[in-house]
Amino acid sequence: MSPKVKRAYLAGPFSSDLERTFTEMVMNAIQERFGDRLDLYVPHRDTGIVMPNSLDAQRRLAFSDDLNAMNAADIFLVLLDHESAGVCWEMGYCYARGLPMVGLWTDVHKKPNLMLEQSATIVSSIGDLLSALAQLL
């Protein structure tokens, strides 16, 4: 009997090439280790990148798609190093839904915001994120 496939939502900022590269590095590590047991939704990959100058219809569709993915998720994963209002909104929404959350915070120079820190299991490396995710699967 194969293990049940769970759904995870990976939130992270993706406005710059650097942010997208880091998000994709984390995404690839997750898929490599858990691809057979986890359906991973990544907004910039699965919905596309919506910028301030995107058409209103594109913006509404991205919001709807992301919201549907958050509603379908069993687990919420969040990249916290680069502060993003959208990521904070997603995190609050998923916290209110009662989803287990794992936040990756690699910045050794400061701590995450109190509300973010208290609403998720915070880890400091991709390896620790994979270990925390393994416990949820």
CATH at 111: 3.40.50.450
- pLDDT for the residue numbered 110: 84
Domain tally, the chain:
1
Cα distance between residue 42 and residue 9, in whole Å: 6
- pLDDT for the residue numbered 2: 53
DSSP state of 35: T
Rounded to an integer, the average pLDDT of 7-17 is 90
Q: Does residue 56 fall inside a structural domain? A: yes
What domain range includes position 79? 6-136
Q: What is the pLDDT of residues 56-110, one digit of tens each?
A: 899 899 899 999 999 999 999 999 988 788 889 999 999 999 999 999 999 888 8
- pLDDT for the residue numbered 3: 63
Give the residue carrying structure tokens 């280790």: 33
Tokens representing residue 82 in the block: 């680069």
* CA 68 remoteness from chain centre: 14
| Model pTM score | 0.90
Q: Does residue 1 fall inside a structural domain? A: no
Mention every residue, 6+ apart, whose C-beta is less than 8 A from residue 127.
none
Q: Does residue 35 fall inside a structural domain? A: yes
